[in-house]
Each structure stands twice: as structure tokens, then as C-alpha cells.
Amino acid sequence: MMRPAAAFLTALLLACSNNPYPDADADRKILYTNYREAPRTLDPAIAYTTSAHAITGNVYDTLLEYHYLKRPYELVPGLAEEIPRAEPRPGGRVAYRFRLRPGLLYQDDPSFALGGEGRSTREILAADVAFELMRIADPAVNSPVIEPFSNLLGFREFTAALAERRETDSDFAARPVREQYAELGGIEGVRVLDERELEIVLAAPYPQILYWFAMPFTTPVPWEAVQYYDGQEGREHFGDHPVGSGPFQLVEYNKQASMILDANPNWYGVRHPEWRAPGATYPTEGEAGDAERGLLDPALVGRSLPFLERIEFRREKESIPSFNKFLQGYYDAAGIIRESFDKVIREDRLSPEMAELDIRLEKSVIPAVYYLGFNMEDPVVGAPGGERARKLRQAMSMVIDVDEWLRLFANGRGVPAESPLPPGLFGYEEEYRNPYRRIDLERARALLAEAGFPDGIDPETGKPLRLSFDTPDTSAQGKLRFEFYVNAWRRIGLDVEIRATNYNQFQEKVRNGAYQIFQWGWVADYPDPENFFFLLWSEMARSKNQGPNSANFSDPRFDELFLAMKSMESDAERLAIIREMRGILEEERPWIELFHPEDYALYHGWLRGVKPAGISNPTAKYRDLEPAVRRSRREAWNEPVLWPLAVLLVLGVVITVPGIITFFRERQ
């Protein structure tokens, strides 16, 4: 029989374990990660955040996807058998035909009973892709990607007809959306040819449309799920209950605590490994350096996906406890918190202490660019100022030391930008050096003198030329960052005033053209040079069409080249055009390119096959892990400290024994 003291100690030992997971899961291939806030919606037609994509990208499969290892990014077939080719049609139209793989199934779900009693799943059809494209066009859905899909023939007309019919016909508006879409005849440029084949027709060439078929926006969606999950009679809303075709399925969705994905047994990669489909097989080739990083390990190459049984997302409101749990082995990956950066990273490399724990550092350049922009409609710094303003912009570009800015404000995380194009995209050339992004104070002063501002002095006032720098950040930290640029310009004699406002006021200034200099950034929707150069296309000017060209840059030759480049295949001719466009921007300086942000992530050594995507692209299916190694290291890193328990036990005895003795004496 266990003595009371021993029983008490045993209970304390059991209670002191800090392992947040069941012991039964210790040897399972479960990836543990975390999130701060749950996504607002998991509806693939709407969700456009990285937090939502962590779920939708794994639950909803796409017709196309990206090669996991290759850079520049390369599309490969997903649910589609092959990547469709552009087919010219009369009137400048272009068509693409997608053919789905045979026998694709959705995950099991009760909603499929709407299509037949006893049904728990069904085959994925071309009509399901058409249904999702109509949902994007549906004004009631309010999808954020209407603009690119407006290239589809009849897309906007379908949107308008749907809105008008609902407004004028209450009976029509009360019917299920599937019936509404059918009655209107769908989108003219979206044709279902048979159960597995879909044709889309664009009103004009837009080859970038294929990238959108590698995003969950265009995933096949079953009408049954949209109709069933309506929030009525205790049912969830569709935005909280995804029903997809991907390698994982959502089995628990507690926004305040956890989100759990299990491997989907209906996924085509599981049911048909013999297909060796690109999206269901670990790749056999990658880019230079992948083999040395263990990404082409024979234990991974050519194996069927996914490797994981489950993905568990646990909510963590604070970054420090989350990072500590990573160090304890309870999360498999982590970002680097600011408070620990200098202890984790030394001279741009992982610290010896971290390396001894078999932790790996992975860096990935995000396809994005941050820049300082000039309002090219301003008479002093813009196009009306002619050659004088051009030399002023060139001089101001030559004194901004981005390496130093990154060191001071971003822990060195970033790649200095030479042009708008980030690494990983076609047209980016690592060896290219922009002559106006070299730090040269003497040349900058000479340019100012040539511009008529010797030593930065405005001849009209006899004082340093005064310019304004509008910013959307009034915080103390923001002020320090912006003062870095102002101090650099002060070194060549310019007087630049920071005008800090809140974001809404800043946007109002930009809308009204009441600004000279600003800082902004852009993250790619898809990895194509068109998605960056369009930011400087005159048709996208903020002053003209409220577009993203906040510099209001307008150059006829640049526009001509852009229109030719945007619809071309990525070949030598396209590269030559990109180089000429780059040269125009180099001389005109509507932007001072700053940096492409870099993401640093830490991974435990038991996690294999990890290559950050850079873009918001799901990669969990490619990751493998060794549960036994993880379990042993967790045990070693989290050994219970027993002496406080012994002290507590002694104190308990000292406190309770006199009371027990007194109790029995009184009973006698």
C-alpha cells in the first residue's frame, strides 16, 4: 500500500509536467505551431491573409501550384492534369482549357447528403470551379480579387445582372445561389465543356491569370457546402467550415484556443500515389544549394505526400511565451522575437548556443519591395521640374544607406533593392547594380549643384532647399526610422520636414496630391514582374485612377514597354524589355528602392524538408519530422526539478503532523 507521503509526492510530480500534449501523441507525426489571432473567414473566395491561408491553403487544393524547390517560381499542375496553354481567339480574346484529374474526391462531410441520401463525399467536377468563379463575381460575397478576374469575358456583366435581379425580384433573391447563377447562365467566359474540362476566355491577353489558379480563390467548391453551412438551425457558416479537396481537412476550429488539421484520406495524392503527380510527390530537383541544405535527401525525394498525420495550431497571444515553448521543444518552428534576436543571431548567422540545440535558421526573401517615392506631379521634385528635378531625385537616391537602415531597424533582415523586382522573380538579376543606389556623397553634391542647388541651397531663398516627407506613422519608433532618411539628406544640405499623420490622413493627402516624398511598400500577389512594374504604369496613377502608382509616374516609353512585357512569355525577349524598363526607372528615379524584406525562421532539427516559400504558399505537405528524436529532446530539455517538491513535502509534514497529533489527542 502506498504511504500518504509517497502518494502526495507522486501526485505533485504528475501535476508538475509542463507538456501541453497527450502522451499518446508523442510518437505521431504531428506538426505543432501557433497563431495569435484566428482568421476572420476561411471562405476561399474571400480569405486573403497569411493566417487564413495557413488553413485554406492546406484544406483547399488548386488546379495549379508552385514547384516546392525551384526559384524563380515555377507553376506545376495540381488538380489539373497539365498547365494549359494560351489559345488565341478572334477579337484579341484568349482561352485556356483546364482538364481535371479523374476520380478526384472532396473530403467527407455531412453537407453532401443534399446531393443524395447517404452521400458523404462526391467527385470534384469542372462545374465546381465555375461555381467558385461565379462566387468571386457575386457582389454579396464581396471577394477582394474581383479586379484580376474582371479579365474574364462577361465577368462584370454577370455581377451587374446578379445585383439587379436580386434587387428587383425577391423570389429570385430567396433561392439558393446555385440556382440563381444557373438561371442567369453563368459567366460568358467560363464554360464547362464536360465533367472534367473547363474553358475560360479572357477579353484580352492576361497570362498572369494562371497564377490566380494557384491560389485558393479558384479552388473547386461544392455547392452543397455553401448551401448547407448557412448559419441556420445550429449549422456553422461556410466561412467557418471549409469543405475542400486538399491534403488536410479541418477537424477542430476553436478560434480562441486551437485549430487542428488531419491528413485527408480522400486526397488524390493518398488515393493515387502511382500517378506521381507533381503536387503529390516530393520533388526530385530544385535550385542550386538545395542538396547541400538537405532538401534533396534520398529519404524525401520521390516520396508520396503528405508526410504529416496532423497539424495543430495553438493560440498564443504573446510572443515571449510562444518562443519559450519553442525552446522547450513544444513548437516545431518559430520566428525570432525582438527581445532574443541578438542571442539567437550573431553576425547574420545562428548563434553557437542555438546550433548546439540542433536548431536551424532558414532565411527567405519575401517577394516584396519597400521604397521612398516622389510625387512626380510636384513642381519641385517631379516631372514639371524637368532635368533639374531629375538630378535632385538622383542625388537624394545616392545618400540613403539601406544596409545601415536594415542594421539599425530590422536586425539586418532584408536584401537591398536595386530595382522594383525582388529575388525569385523572372527579370531579377543578382549581378545588376543601380548606379544611383551606390552611396556617394561627392557625386550627390555634384548632382545637386548641376540641378541649381549648390550645397543644397535654394537660390530663391538663400537657404537649404525645404522639402516635405509625409508619413503614416506618428509613433516614436516610426519617427526614428524616418529621421534616418532626413539626416542622410541633411548631409548634402537639404532640409526635409517630416509630416507625420495617422494612416487615414496620410491616404487623404495622397489622394489629394498634397505630398512630395513618401515611403511605401508592395507585396506580390503572384511572382511575376508585371505585378511590380504595374505600380509605375501611368494608367495606375493615384491622381488619375486612384491606382497603386502613388508616385504618379508617367513615361510614354515605359508604358509602351510595360504593355508589351505584361502579356509575354518569360523568355530572352521579355528579359530585354525588362532591362530597358529598369534603365528608365534608374535614370528617372520616381522611387528610391530600399529593400526586399527577409523572413528569418527557426526550425528544430527533427523537422525535415523545410524550405520557406517566401510567398503565401502552403508547404506543410512537404514537411516531415522524426517524432522519436523530438520526444527524447523534449524529455532532456524539460527534466523536472525535484528539490522544490522535496522541500514542499517536508513543509507539508512539518505543518500537518502537529495538527494530526492534536486531533487524535482531542478524540481521546
Taking only the tens place, the pLDDT of each residue in 101-119 is 999 999 999 999 998 888 9
The verdict on residue 494 lying in a domain is yes
Domain assignment present for 240: no
pLDDT band at 286 (very low <50, low <70, confident <90, very high): very high
Residue 286 contacts residue 300 (beta carbons within 8 Å): no
Domain contains 507: yes
CA-to-CA distance for 244 and 271, rounded, in angstroms?
15
- Of 60-74, 242-256, 293-307, 342-356, the poorest mean pLDDT is in 342-356
Residue 647's pLDDT is what?
52
Query: Which residue segment(s) compose the domain that 463 sits in?
Result: 368-599
Q: What is the CATH number of the domain that holds 523?
A: 3.10.105.10
Residue 84 placed within a domain:
no
Is residue 472 domain-resident? yes
In Å, how far are 18, 135, 162, 171, 445 from 168, measured between CA atoms? Answer: 61, 20, 10, 9, 67
Cis peptide, bond prior to residue 472, ω within 30 of zero: no
% of the chain at pLDDT higher than 70? 93
Sequence-distant (≥ 6) Cβ neighbours of residue 664 within 8 angstroms: none
Task: Report yes or no on 658 lying in a domain.
Answer: no
Task: Decide if 143 contacts 48 (C-beta within 8 A).
Answer: no
**Residue range 467-485: mean pLDDT, rounded:** 94
Cell representation of residue 140:
454579396
Report DSSP letters for 290-334, one per residue: TTTTTTT-TTTTTPBSP--SEEEEEE-SSHHHHHHHHHTTSSSEE
Q: Decide if 250 is inside a domain.
A: no
Q: 587 in a domain, yes or no?
A: yes
Q: Which residues of 289-320 are buried (b: 16+ CB within 10 A; e: fewer)?
A: ebeeeebbeeebbeebbbbbebbbbbbbeebe
- What is the average per-residue pLDDT within 530-549? 91
Q: Model-level pTM?
A: 0.87
**DSSP codes of every residue in 106-118:** PPP-GGGGGGSTT
Q: How many domains does the chain have?
A: 1
Q: How far is CA 476 from the centre of its chain?
A: 28
pLDDT at 426 > cutoff 50: yes
